Amino acid sequence: MESIILIGFMGSGKSSVGKELSKLLNINLVEVDQLIADVAGKSIPEIFEEEGEAGFREREFEVLKENLLSNQIIATGGGILTYPKSAELINRQSNVFFLKGDINVLIERISRDKTNQRPLANQKKESEIISLYKIREQSYHDAANYVIDVTHKSITQIAQEIL
């Protein structure tokens, strides 16, 4: 099976759904953000701080390229498609699922999530996050083979729908 790639904005549940799918299908989960941090030996905010967004995107691309093997679940970060080289790789895949949620619900989740530090959302005004979503929304649709509405669904429901 070609890998299942989960894309979507911050707060759409890519990692949680990835974990559930990995359990249900008994296949490996690649959490791109986690792997970037492991390889770099520093946190995502530290990478942004020290290397800028450009440095982070290049690291994201390297991790994606090296893990795009078959039979895996790949939970991406919400901005992966902003980097053309990463977008090109994802656009060539055929099991790409866009977890699409109402932006107000996603903002609510992002602000509640204290464990995940997101340099592109923390300390941003709601209007700025909405603008970022609007800029990115089309690219999620362009890359996706399937669009799953995640707004009012549990992680289990979303995983079942993907299966």
In the annotated binding site for ATP, the residues are 11-16, 118
Cβ at position 33, least distance to ligand S3P in Å: 5
CA distance to 7, 22, 144, per residue, from 147 (Å):
10, 19, 7
User: Which of the stretches 65-73, 91-99, 116-124, 149-157 binds ligand S3P when contact is defined by CB under 6 A?
Assistant: 116-124
Pick from 156, 132, 28, 22: which is nearest to 77 by CA?
132
Question: What is the rounded distance in angstroms from the CA atom of residue 18 to the CA atom of residue 159?
Answer: 8
Interaction between residue 119 and ligand S3P (CB under 6 A): yes
Return the residue of 24, 120, 147, 155 that touches ligand S3P, per CB under 6 A.
Answer: 120
Beta carbons within 8 Å of 45's beta carbon, 6+ residues apart: 117, 119
User: Which of the stretches 86-94, 115-123, 139-147, 148-156 binds ligand S3P when contact is defined by CB under 6 A?
Assistant: 115-123
Q: Is 10 or 21 the residue whose CB approaches ligand S3P more closely? A: 10
Site residues for ligand S3P, 42-101, by CB under 6 A, read: 44, 77-79
How many Cα atoms sit within 13 Å of 104 on the Cβ side?
1
Site residues for ligand S3P, 124-163, by CB under 6 A, read: none
**Long-range CB contacts (< 8 A, 24+ apart) of 108-113?**
108/11, 109/11, 110/10, 110/11, 113/11
- The binding site for ligand S3P (CB under 6 A) comprises 10, 14, 33, 44, 77-79, 116, 118-120
